[in-house]
Every structure is written in C-alpha cells, then in structure tokens.
Amino acid sequence: MARKKSAETVTGRFVAHPDGYGFVIAEDPPLEQDVFVPPNKVGSAVDGDTVRVRLVPSRRPRKRKGLSSLEGEIFAIVSRGRETIVGKLFRYRQGIYVAPLDERYRYTVRLIDEQAKKIEDGMIVVVSIVVQPGPNQRPQGKIREVLGDPDDPEIQYKIVCHTYEIPVEFPKEVLQEAELAEEPDGKSIQKRKDFRKLLTVTIDGETSRDFDDAISIEKLKNGHFRLWVHIADVSHYVRPDTPLDREALLRGTSVYFPDRAVPMLPEKLSNQVCSLNPKVDRLTMSAVMEVDDQGQVTNAEFFRSVICSDERMTYTAVNKILIDQDQALRRRYKSLLESFGWMLELSRILRAMRVRRGAIDFDLPEAEVEYDDKGEIADIVRSERNEAHRIIEELMLLANETVAQHLAGREIPSIYRVHEDPDPAKVEAFLELATEFGYSLKQNQDGRYSSRAFQKLMVQMSGKPEQKFLSYLMLRSFKQAQYTEVNQGHFGLASACYTHFTSPIRRYPDLIVHRLLKMAIDRKTSGRTAEGLYGRLPEIAGRSSERERKAVVAEREIMRWIMARFMADRLGDEYDAFIIGVKRNGFFVELLDHFVEGFVPVETIWDDFYVLNQRHHCLIGETTKKVYRIGDRLRVRVDKVNPHRHLIDFSPVISAKRSRRNAKRSRRKRKR
C-alpha cells in the first residue's frame, strides 16, 4: 500500500534533467507522484542513482493537474547507477579530463591512469568511474575503451551500442554452436506435421532478411476461415542453457537501425537455417485456427511442423495486387490471388472485431531513411503502412492471442505481454491539454477510462492538425507495455490475455513461449525441466522488458542523429513546415518535404516578443498579437545543426517589412 505524501523520507531512482533539477521515482515507499528535486537540492547525485530524499514543502506553483506537488532534497546516495560514461577527452593545464556526452551527467571526469596520456585530444572514450562525485570531490576515472574519432562515420553507432549495452560481436563459442545448425533432413522432419503441400507465403519488407512467419489460408464451406500461422522453430536449434541461449537472453531482442541490424541470433540462424526462405524446407511451429465471420476462433490446434514457402512476398507487392489492382503483378502471382483475397477479407473482419472490443490504433507514421547507390542518405520520408502491413499485423495479433489463451486455459505458467491501465493522474494532465482543443474522455461508472474511450478520441482527432501532438501526449499518459509472468491483460489491444509468439528469431520471450507451447503439446508440463523454466520466468520477463526498452531508445537516438546529419548539409536552406508542439521557449516543427523534426527557439522570432498562452497552448506576440499554434504552416530556415547532440534548430522566415520596434522587443533573453 502506498504511503501518504506526509512520509518524511523516501528511497527511489533519481532521473536528472540537463538543466540541473530532477525527479525521484519513489520505490520505498511507493508514491503516486514523483518527487521534484530542485538544482540546489540535488547534492552529488547523478542520473540513475538510487537515493534517499527528504520531503519538504513545495514552493512551486502547481499550474497544471498531474504535475507533482511533492518536493524534496537528496540527503543520501544508496547506490550509484553509473559505473561508466562515454565522453570526449581533453587536456586542461596539467590534467586530462573527459566531458560526458550525456548532458544529464553534470560532472567532468578527471583521468588518473597512464593510458590516458597516449590518447589524442578530442577522441571519444569510455571511462570507468573509480571515484564517484561527492562534496568538493570531482569524479575520477580510468580509460576502459577508445571508441574513436568523433568524425568517424561509425562513431555514433559505437556510442549508442555502448551506452545501451548492445553487444555487436558474438562470442566465439556462440558462433561455433550456430555453425553446427543443419538444414532440415529426414530425421528432423520425423513426427512433424507436414504442411509442405499447403500454399504458403511470407510477406515482409523489401529489405528484410529474417523471415520468421508464413501464412496459409483457405475459406471453408460454412463461411469460416482456416488460418495457418507458421512460425520459425528457433527453439529446435537454440536449446536451453547453451552458449546460444545465454547470448540470446543477454541481448533480449534484435536492434534495427536504418542501415543495419544487430541481431539476437548469429546470421547462420537468423538469416539462413531458421529463416522461412522460399522453396526450401523449414522447421516451424504452426498455429491452426478456424475463425468465424465475426473474428472469433472456434477451434485451434498447435503443431511441430515443416513447411516449404512458395513465395517471398513484400508489403509493397501485395498492396499493389490487392488495392492498386496491378495487372502485371496479378498475372505473375495468379496462383496466390485467391489466398491474398481471403487474407484481406479475414484481416478486415479481425480489425472490426478489435474495434468493437475497444482496441486503440495510433497508426502514427515513422521515419524511413532512403539511401542512394553510394550508401549516402538520399531522403528521410514517412514510412508507408499499407493494407498488406495491416493484414500481417492482424493475423499475427490473432496467433499471439490464441497461443496466450491456450496456455492460460491449461494453467501453464507463461510470459505474457501486458499493458496496464493508464495512470489516472497522467490521464488528467493529458485531458487538460486535450480539452483546450475541444476533446474529452468519458469515464466509466467506476471512474476509470476504458480503451474504447481512447479509441473514440483517436477517431475524433484523425486528420486534425493537433493529432500527432495529442497522440504523442496520450501515449505518454499510458504505461509501457512489458513482459511479465502474471497475466494482467493488454489495455491498448483491449485483450484479456496476450503474449508474443510470432517472432522468435528477434525476440527472446517468443522463444520461451515456443518452449512452453511444446511442453503443452507433449503434455509434459510438470517435472524438473518444466519447474526449472517456470521458476526463471520472472527473471526472463524482467530482462526482456529491460532489453526492449533500451533497444527502442537506441533506435530512436540513431534516427535523431541521422536526421541531424541529413540537415547538417542544408544550413541556410528554407522549407515549408507545420507546428507539432509548443513550449514556453519555442515550438517544434515537422518539415513537409522531409520527415524531419526540429525546434524553433522563440528568440529567433525577431518581429515581436512572444509569450506562451498556457490555456490555448500557443505563442502570442505582445504587440502584433500574431499567434503560433499547433497545425500552423510556416516557412523555416535551417539555422543550427549539432549532430553529436542530435539537435536541429530552425528559424521562421519573416518578412523584413515587420516593425523594427517589435524586433527590438523580441531580443529579451529567454531560457531554453
């Protein structure tokens, strides 16, 4: 039970802000709100430390619901969250120092080892901290690794992979074990359900190389569909507690950057033996489901199986066949047209079923990098999510849910993919902003917000200028989906029971679910092996959630760096843009020609002095009364780019005819 706000001290994790202040996420005792720590009360704590904080009366005005009213001062550090930092080496007077690249770490580290003397100024290095910061004590460290020159094209990948503990190279023993994996033969196919005569296809992206799911489908005389979802049987090759298995758990997930991937499994498995490549036999786990015209599974069976995929299809090609009615492609894939038609029909039934249930579909575009023949960035565009993407998404969702329900129905311990109900306080904070745009959410009789209420709000916002901004804020009000051994349902999908089963090549939890499903098929759900796996599920789930979060942040950071690198060659260029978010010190814009975001500092709007109108979430000129609000289009110029900090600054293109008097007023200093 959470302690009341009157608790004198709490223990928790400190999350620092580059401006010096931070928040403590209370863990002992847990609190409903984070504790705000002003800069002069931080002491020697740094981001990630576990600290003890003394609660004090807050002096901050509470302008918005959902903001923390708790304030505190850190008086003890329980444990340090960082043992290493990445930074740039420099010399000053008689000392050698490292300036951290992460602005949340506010100390410069003095190097005390002899190796540092051999390293040139400006090099990016990894430093082990041997003396932590304290009162009147600068942190001290030793060189752990030299990552390279800051101008090295590969340096950002090295920094990100080190920062988020993403191992790039596989250990020798792991590669050796992977090389022993053999193509399916008569012995490995024995006792498997033979689905090789079924018409089977994979549908993936153009650049995909690891195909872990394939589809077969037919329509029955009663109007139902029989759907086969075949998933690569990775667990046949990756056995428990082997070097391969331990490395897969360590990595937790594959990490996908725009121009490369850091796989969970060696290429021999991920792209060859396990990948469901066309025209070759592959070992699979198959979920065979009969689905009625309302999207309900009336019967489901699960098999160890073998398939031979007929075609490797892409989302683009399937969409052209089904939606664009491309005649050349329809002639080429004539034998698959009926199957594609059934897939489209079933996916729309499943989508309608999920909508009735209250599932939330954000459908927000993501950035996609296009490269030229030389490997240089040609453009950054909005990724296309077409009907073929939705087909595969719906069929995989169904398979995941069906497997979860099967294991839960048999009371077999498992790993679930859960998404808890949102935090009411964060929803209230989001609603205060949404209300300014004319939106509202209805509560249930118990005072909670259902997924259906959010779904209706998404429909109302669709196509509106504020959609992206409010969708992002809505997502922030939700809790993160995670893996756990306790089924708590999935709020976003409006599903009572859900897991991940369909991507064992790139996600470790899926591999574990395959092992559990095999136990269920073999009716060997008890005994030493089963109990040993069941006992490890909490550890595996926690580790998998942690690795997933780090992979997401790493992928996002690389994309921000690529955007900055792309715009660095375009200083002074002008673009049409629209405003996607407004703050006191400026606003965020998204370019129309390229899917690139950046910031317009308020100081660059030189024709007036602009003030944030909190109620209407816009900037208003004091003299001209000109307004900058979300959705407004404007012309911007590329002013500054810092690829190392992933920052892009724009300035509005303002007519020189504007009043000089207003321009003079606009030069008042503003903190960023």
Q: Tokens 């999935």 label which residue?
A: 490
- What is the average per-residue pLDDT within 467-482? 88
Measured distance CA(455)–CA(462) in Å, rounded: 11
Provide the residue count of the chain.
672
pLDDT in tens, 199-232: 999 999 998 889 999 999 999 999 999 999 999 9
- What is the average per-residue pLDDT within 467-481? 87
| Residue 671: predicted pLDDT | 47
pLDDT in tens, 90-104: 999 989 999 999 888
- What is the average per-residue pLDDT within 160-165? 92
Q: Where residue 153 falls among pLDDT bands split at 50, 70, 90?
A: confident
Q: Tokens 């999920």 label which residue?
A: 354
- What is the average per-residue pLDDT within 134-149? 93
pLDDT in tens, 387-445: 999 999 999 999 999 999 999 999 999 999 999 999 888 888 888 888 888 899 988 87
Pairing mode, if any, of strands 586-591 and 633-642? Answer: unpaired
DSSP 8-class letter at 39 = G
| Residue 667: predicted pLDDT | 47
CB atoms within 10 A of CB 154: 10
CA 220 to chain centre: 39
| Residue 1: predicted pLDDT | 40
pLDDT in tens, 519-571: 999 988 888 889 999 999 999 999 999 999 999 999 999 999 999 999 999 99
| Residue 8: predicted pLDDT | 86
Pairing mode, if any, of strands 297-308 and 311-314? Answer: unpaired
| Residue 60: predicted pLDDT | 58
**Residue 419 vs residues 149, 481, 496: alpha-carbon distances, Å:** 42, 4, 10
| Residue 659, pLDDT above cutoff 70 | no
Q: For the packed helices 315-322 and 337-357, what is the interaxial angle rounded to 10 degrees?
A: 90
| Residue 274: predicted pLDDT | 97
Contacts of 411 by beta carbon, 8 Å cutoff, 6+ apart: none
Strand boundaries in 263-371, DSSP class E? 281-291, 297-308, 311-314, 367-371
| Residue 437: predicted pLDDT | 85
Q: Six-digit token pair at 193?
A: 């359900």
| Residue 59: predicted pLDDT | 65
| Residue 5, pLDDT above cutoff 60 | no
Measured distance CA(625)–CA(641) in Å, rounded: 30
Angle at 145 between CA 141 and CA 148, to 5 degrees: 120
User: Nearest-CA neighbor of 287 among 513, 533, 482?
Assistant: 513
Q: What is the CA radius of gyration of the chain?
A: 27
CA 353 to chain centre: 26
DSSP 8-class letter at 41 = G
> 333 or 19, which is more confident?
333
Please check whether residue 84 is in contact with residue 127, taking contact to mean a CB–CB distance below 8 angstroms: yes
DSSP 196-235: TTS--EEEE-TT-----EEEEEEE-TTS-EEEEEEEE-GG
The pTM (predicted TM-score) of the whole model is 0.88
Q: Which residues pair with 369 in a beta bridge?
A: 380
Q: Which residues pair with 146 in a beta bridge?
A: 125
Q: Six-digit token pair at 590?
A: 């998204």
User: Nearest-CA neighbor of 386 among 346, 415, 344?
Assistant: 344
> 375 or 234, which is more confident?
234
User: Nearest-CA neighbor of 224 among 104, 345, 388, 86?
Assistant: 345
| Residue 190, pLDDT above cutoff 60 | yes
| Residue 657: predicted pLDDT | 59
Mean pLDDT of the chain: 91
User: Nearest-CA neighbor of 60 among 78, 96, 32, 33?
Assistant: 33
- What is the average per-residue pLDDT within 20-24? 93
CB atoms within 10 A of CB 249: 20
| Residue spans of alpha helices (H) in 410-527 | 424-436, 451-461, 467-477, 508-522
Q: Where residue 63 falls among pLDDT bands split at 50, 70, 90?
A: very low
CB atoms within 10 A of CB 520: 17
| Residue 527: predicted pLDDT | 86
| Residue 11, pLDDT above cutoff 80 | yes
Q: For residue 278, say if its preceding peptide bond is cis, omega within 30 degrees of 0.
A: no
Q: In the chain, what is the straight-line distance between the N-terminal and C-terminal CA atoms, in Å? A: 39
Measured distance CA(189)–CA(329) in Å, rounded: 34
Long-range (24+ apart) CB contacts under 8 A made by 33-40 are 33/5, 33/68, 33/69, 33/70, 33/425, 34/68, 34/70, 35/10, 35/68, 35/70, 35/71, 35/72, 36/60, 36/68, 36/70, 36/71, 36/72, 37/71, 37/72, 37/73, 37/74, 38/71
Contacts of 508 by beta carbon, 8 Å cutoff, 6+ apart: 248, 249, 251, 252, 253, 264, 540, 543, 544, 547
Q: Which of 223-232, 291-300, 548-557, 614-623 has the lowest mean pLDDT?
A: 614-623
